[in-house]
């Protein structure tokens, strides 16, 4: 007997949402960013924490496209409550980011600064991640 939920056009629905990344997800995030992607940071990915680009507390999923590595410091200062593209009805509108927040832009992880610029890390290893090799 198999039990599951299936959307009529999208197919199987994932009913199990994990808060923490599996080792597989962590490995994928490390392969994408060999160092913390925050500009001018040089902490190697294997010493970083897995970060939800769209914060888990705001409904961000634990899936490869929503994860990146950030060092402990930058994971702490990232503005998880920054503005988002869509505001759901009933939710309070979030303010302007203070230190900025990480975003995925055209497939790559960038810092969205409080001034609205998208800035990548220029460390030598930052352009050797998986997304830079394809």
Residue 121 sits in the site that holds Zn ion (CB under 5 A): no
Q: Are 117 and 103 in contact (CB under 8 A)?
A: no
Q: Among 18-26, 65-73, 87-95, 114-122, which window interacts with Zn ion (CB under 5 A)? A: 65-73
HSE-up (13 A, CA, CB side) for residue 105: 13
With the CA atoms of 61, 62, 67 and 73 taken in that order, what torsion angle do they form, in degrees rounded to the nearest 10?
A: 100
Residue 36 sits in the site that holds Zn ion (CB under 5 A): yes
Nearer to Zn ion, 36 or 111 (CB): 36
State in angstroms the smallest separation of the CB of 48 from Zn ion. Answer: 7
Q: Among 19-27, 29-37, 88-96, 115-123, which window interacts with Zn ion (CB under 5 A)? A: 29-37
Cα-based distances in Å from 7 to 2, 13, 60 = 16, 6, 20
Q: Find the binder of Zn ion among 29, 71, 109, 111 (CB under 5 A).
A: 71
């Amino acid at each position: 007997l198999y039990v599951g939920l299936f959307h009529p056009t999208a197919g199987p629905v994932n009913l199990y949402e994990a808060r923490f990344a599996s080792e597989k997800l962590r490995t994928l995030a490390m392969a994408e960013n060999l160092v913390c992607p925050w500009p001018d940071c040089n902490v190697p990915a294997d010493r970083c924490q897995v970060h939800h680009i769209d914060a888990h507390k705001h409904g961000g999923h634990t899936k490869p496209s929503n994860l990146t590595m950030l060092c402990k410091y930058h994971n702490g200062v990232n503005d998880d409550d920054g503005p988002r593209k869509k505001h759901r009805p009933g939710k309070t509108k979030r303010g302007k980011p203070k230190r900025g927040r990480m975003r995925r832009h055209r497939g790559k992880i960038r810092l969205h600064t409080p001034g609205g610029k998208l800035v990548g890390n220029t460390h030598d290893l930052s352009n050797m991640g998986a997304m830079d090799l394809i």
